[in-house]
Amino acid sequence: MNLLFRGVSVIPVLTIEREGDAVPLARALFEGGLRVIEVTFRTQAAGAAIAAIAREVPAVAVGAGTLLRASDVAAAAQAGARFLVSPGMTPELAATALATELPYLPGVATPSEIMAARALGLCVMKLFPAGALGGVSFVRALAPVFAGVAFCPTGGVDARSAADYLALPNVPMVGGSWMAPRDAIVAGDWSRIRRLAERAASIGHAAAA
């Protein structure tokens, strides 16, 4: 496990549509106890949002997610992303991500994809879409086959299922967006997001206890 993720159990997965929301959102999550966040490359504001967080909230480790192409990886690294996440994995994408020497979580959904990622020396992977793949029972079934491989389930994860995933020995962390609902971001309700982040952080603390 990369040092960046040590002690981290819940990673907010954020879709930021307005650059101006980035810094107050990151601060609210950090104040709630979540110090590692992922900003998805699903909007035109993503790169600028990552740059703003990296510059103005350095206590937060901000990464880039939903990286689909090599050019996305380059843009994320240039913006200041401290880790990289993709929903799947292609040879070109993986090669570009690994060349940055940033922590990289490739997306996997099948045993063959897990084997391909492991062949590249990767042992921590994003499992996506976790809920649709079978949830906790699916991840549990992978444990005896892929010793030494850890998963970050993302997709359909909420406060209730997060605790169930984190109880598994091959799940050190989960990713989700439930602590930063879109309506709260649009409204600038940072206090609500801080409270939700506190609850999310408590799930991780309970799992580690």
Structural domains of the chain ordered from first start = 3-208 (3.20.20.70)
Tell me the average pLDDT across 157-183.
96
User: Quick one: pLDDT at residue 206?
Assistant: 72
**Contact between 198 and 33 (Cβ < 8 Å):** yes
Render pLDDT for 142-161 as a digit per residue (tens, 0 to 9). Answer: 999 999 999 999 999 999 99
Instruction: Return the biggest CA–CA distance within the chain.
Output: 46
Instruction: Establish whether 101 is a catalytic residue.
Output: no
Residue found by looking up tokens 């192409």 in the block: 69
Burial class (CB in 10 A: 0-12, 13-18, 19+), 106: buried
**Distance separating alpha carbons of residues 68 and 99, to the nearest angstrom:** 16
Tell me the average pLDDT across 34-58.
98
Tell me the average pLDDT across 2-11.
92
Q: How confident is the model at residue 208 (pLDDT cuts 50, 70, 90)?
A: low
Mean pLDDT for all residues in the chain: 96
Amino acid in position 104: Y
**Distance separating alpha carbons of residues 174 and 118, to the nearest angstrom:** 19
User: Quick one: pLDDT at residue 204?
Assistant: 75
Instruction: Establish whether 19 is a catalytic residue.
Output: no
Given 38, 92, 101, 198, the catalytic residue: 38
| DSSP letter string, the chain | --GGGTT--EEEEE--S-HHHHHHHHHHHHHTT--EEEEETTSTTHHHHHHHHHHH-TTSEEEEE---SHHHHHHHHHHT-SSEE-SS--HHHHHHHHHTTS-EE-EE-SHHHHHHHHHTT--EEEETTHHHHTHHHHHHHHTTTSTT-EEEEBSS--HHHHHHHHTSTT-S-EEESTTS-HHHHHHT-HHHHHHHHHHHHHHHHHHH-
**Distance separating alpha carbons of residues 71 and 69, to the nearest angstrom:** 5
What pTM, to 2 d.p., does this model score?
0.95
Q: How confident is the model at residue 52 (pLDDT cuts 50, 70, 90)?
A: very high
User: Quick one: pLDDT at residue 8?
Assistant: 95
**Contact between 17 and 45 (Cβ < 8 Å):** yes
Given 17, 19, 126, 198, the catalytic residue: 126
Question: In this model, does residue 1 exceed pLDDT 90?
Answer: no
Closest C-alpha to 125, from 137, 110, 135, 136:
110
User: Quick one: pLDDT at residue 112?
Assistant: 98
